[in-house]
Amino acid sequence: MPHEAISVFDIFKIGVGPSSSHTLGPWRAAQYFLQSLEQKDQLFQVQSLRVLLYGSLAKTGKGHGTDVAIQLGLSGDDPVTFDVEQIDTKINHIRTEKKLKLQGKHEIEFDPQNDIEFLFTESLPYHPNALTFLVTLQNQQQFAETYYSIGGGFVQKEGEQSGSATAIQLPFPVDKADDLLHWCRKTGLSISEVVMENENAWRSEEDTRKGVLKIWQVMKDCMFRGCHSEGTLPGGLKVKRRAADLNRKLLNGRIYHDYDSWIGAIRAGGSDFKYILDWVSCFALAINEENASFGRVVTAPTNGAAGVIPAVLHYFVTFCDGYNDDKIVQFMLTASEIGSIFKKGATISAAMGGCQAEIGVSSAMAAAGLTEVMGGGQRQALMASEIAMEHHLGLTCDPIGGLVQIPCIERNTMGAIKAITASQLALQSTPDFAKVSLDTVIRTMWDTATDMSFKYKETAEGGLAVHIPLSLPEC
Ligand code: SF4
């Protein structure tokens, strides 16, 4: 197998909630499909189009907005720039008119109710998240293209290598934690420095820094919005948003209209353990309530787990010493490398590995990032990552009603706290005495994933999802 080069910007992607594999991935697949049509000069020849959803995309696609994402992607909208406030308007327009403008250029008859088919009992062998675009051209010629949403917004076209990963030659190729440690030892560089050297193969260091800080800005905006948005979440479960209430309570009712004065006020509130714990929970809830509301979030490494890393970063920024932009970049680079090692050695797709692949991986990423910026060595950062995953092994995915709400939103608070605990444990430990390596826990996670019943892999057919049934409206 050729080395798979994964950049920090493959792991951290700006997108729209609620799911990287069920929303962002299918959205991207629709965009890739349009590109394919344009390359073949067939966009304007399309007469009709149907989309088939298989496996987990069929089973929990409604709750995850898969159909919405596909319509937006087919319309030529981009998840990074599309105004999320316009989603309902656009989708209602397509539904009532029964017409869709492919790439914003070529109008076809399209009734989402009939032309997007949820094949609840069918799966394709390569991956549980599969979708097929079935096209009829004006000359009545027909063809199909199948894409797989393989987790974290990564998409692979049938018959091709992973679409997002590139074949670039990196100075320090890393597949396993041991490879990473090898390069750190050989060069004397920290984990984030090794990653930055690799990122230089794609772009200048300055551009990487700018890109990472832009990601951080999106996380901050999302956090601030989530802490100041009231109401109930969409989807029919009627889950009340809690971050805004908690925010108000912790700040004794004071309202801050900009991010900096808000963070300043939180910081001024002290360092009592319960106070910090409440804020870490509030941070994680805020991001994931935004995610559940089709808000703009960053995959980290997935949407369902998008709150863990921003919550841990905000813990660092607000309650620890020494925060500056360099530390944010270090944190993100280190965390991204851990995410890519998990993707290569196991999976970051809940449809393949359950929630250990989402919350578990995000917690392991955050633990390593935090350990590095808190002054830990490379082996301590890897140890922190191992500890965080070790205590997520076997975590199942059973979202009620297929919505990324229960248990997902609270689960991000748990992932964040475990990351902080794991980092603190590693910082107080000597890695020489560790009995379990990061590579071993990744192998164990994969074994656990392959043994796990399909019911617990983002199908909403087991666990909480069956004990608290929900009849979702058809719209
Ligand atoms: S249970 Fe975990 S893996 Fe499943 S949708 Fe929720 S956050 Fe994602």
Give the tens place of pLDDT for each residue, 222-269: 999 999 999 999 999 999 999 999 999 999 999 999 999 999 999 999
Q: How far is CA 215 from CA 116, 185, 219, 299, 444, in A?
A: 32, 29, 6, 10, 31
Q: Does residue 306 line the site of ligand 1, with CB under 6 A? A: no
CA 446 to centroid of ligand 1, rounded, Å: 17
User: What number does the ligand 1 atom closest to the CA of 396 have?
Assistant: 1
Q: For helices 438-451 and 378-390, give the axis angle rounded to 10 degrees.
A: 20
CA 459 to centroid of ligand 1, rounded, Å: 10
Whether residue 378 contacts residue 181, with contact meaning beta carbons closer than 8 Å, is answered with yes
Rounded-to-integer distance, Cα 155 and Cα 164, Å:
7
User: What number does the ligand 1 atom closest to the CA of 60 have?
Assistant: 5
Q: Does residue 152 line the site of ligand 1, with CB under 6 A? A: no
Mutate which of 299, 347, 359, 448 to test ligand 1's pocket (most atoms within 8 Å of Cβ)?
359
Q: Does residue 348 line the site of ligand 1, with CB under 6 A? A: no
CA 150 to centroid of ligand 1, rounded, Å: 15
pLDDT tens per residue, range 87-97: 999 999 999 99
Phi-psi region of 395 (alpha: psi -120 to 50; beta: other; left: phi over 0): beta
Rounded-to-integer distance, Cα 371 and Cα 420, Å:
9
Three state DSSP letters for 82-136? CCHHHHHHHHHHHHHHCEEEECCCEEEECCHHHHEEECCCCCCCCCCEEEEEEEE
Three state DSSP letters for 322-354? CCCHHHHHHHHHHHHHHHHHHHHHCCCCHHHHH
Q: Does residue 64 line the site of ligand 1, with CB under 6 A? A: no
Nearest CA to ligand 1 atom 1: 397
Q: How far is CA 340 from CA 134, 174, 328, 336, 388, in A?
A: 32, 9, 18, 6, 16
Nearest CA to ligand 1 atom 6: 408
Tokens of 395: 């975590």
Rounded-to-integer distance, Cα 259 and Cα 183, Å:
38
Comparing CA positions, the residue from 75, 84, 85 lying closest to residue 15 is 84
Comparing CA positions, the residue from 148, 144, 191 lying closest to residue 172 is 191
pTM of the shown model: 0.93
Rounded-to-integer distance, Cα 69 and Cα 75, Å:
10
Tell me, what's the pLDDT at 4? 87
Amino acid code (one letter) for 230: E
Tell me, what's the pLDDT at 322? 87
Q: Does residue 458 line the site of ligand 1, with CB under 6 A? A: yes
Mutate which of 309, 358, 361 to test ligand 1's pocket (most atoms within 8 Å of Cβ)?
358
Cis preceding-peptide flag for 301 (omega within 30 of 0)? yes
Residues contacting 450, CB < 8 A, separation 6+: none
Tokens of 16: 């729209």
Tell me, what's the pLDDT at 475? 31
User: What number does the ligand 1 atom closest to the CA of 305 have?
Assistant: 7
Q: How far is CA 113 from CA 19, 59, 144, 228, 329, in A?
A: 21, 16, 20, 35, 44
Rounded-to-integer distance, Cα 90 and Cα 75, Å:
9
pLDDT, tens digit only, all 475 positions of the chain: 457 899 999 999 999 999 999 999 999 999 999 999 999 999 999 999 999 999 999 999 988 999 999 999 999 999 999 999 999 999 999 999 999 999 999 999 999 999 999 999 999 999 999 999 999 999 999 999 999 999 999 999 998 865 444 578 999 999 999 999 999 999 999 999 999 999 999 999 999 999 999 999 999 999 999 999 999 999 999 999 999 999 999 999 999 999 999 999 999 999 999 999 999 999 999 999 999 999 999 999 999 999 999 999 999 999 999 899 999 999 999 999 999 999 999 999 999 999 999 999 999 999 999 999 999 999 999 999 999 999 999 999 999 998 999 999 999 999 999 999 999 999 999 999 999 999 999 999 999 999 999 999 988 899 999 998 665 433 3
Q: Does residue 308 line the site of ligand 1, with CB under 6 A? A: no
Amino acid code (one letter) for 136: T
Rounded-to-integer distance, Cα 150 and Cα 147, Å:
9
Mutate which of 349, 408, 409, 468 to test ligand 1's pocket (most atoms within 8 Å of Cβ)?
408
Percentage, residues of the chain above pLDDT 70: 97
Q: Does residue 304 line the site of ligand 1, with CB under 6 A? A: yes
Tell me, what's the pLDDT at 79? 95
Residue 80: CB atoms within 10 A of its CB come to 12
Q: Does residue 407 line the site of ligand 1, with CB under 6 A? A: yes
Nearest CA to ligand 1 atom 2: 355
CA 474 to centroid of ligand 1, rounded, Å: 22
Rounded-to-integer distance, Cα 126 and Cα 153, Å:
17
Q: Does residue 399 line the site of ligand 1, with CB under 6 A? A: yes
Rounded-to-10 torsion of CA 92, 56, 366, 380: -170
Tokens of 345: 């050695």
Nearest CA to ligand 1 atom 3: 355
Mutate which of 404, 448, 459 to test ligand 1's pocket (most atoms within 8 Å of Cβ)?
404
Q: Does residue 359 line the site of ligand 1, with CB under 6 A? A: yes
Amino acid code (one letter) for 312: V
CA 19 to centroid of ligand 1, rounded, Å: 9
CA 200 to centroid of ligand 1, rounded, Å: 33
Tell me, what's the pLDDT at 163? 47
Mutate which of 355, 413, 466 to test ligand 1's pocket (most atoms within 8 Å of Cβ)?
355
Cis preceding-peptide flag for 407 (omega within 30 of 0)? yes
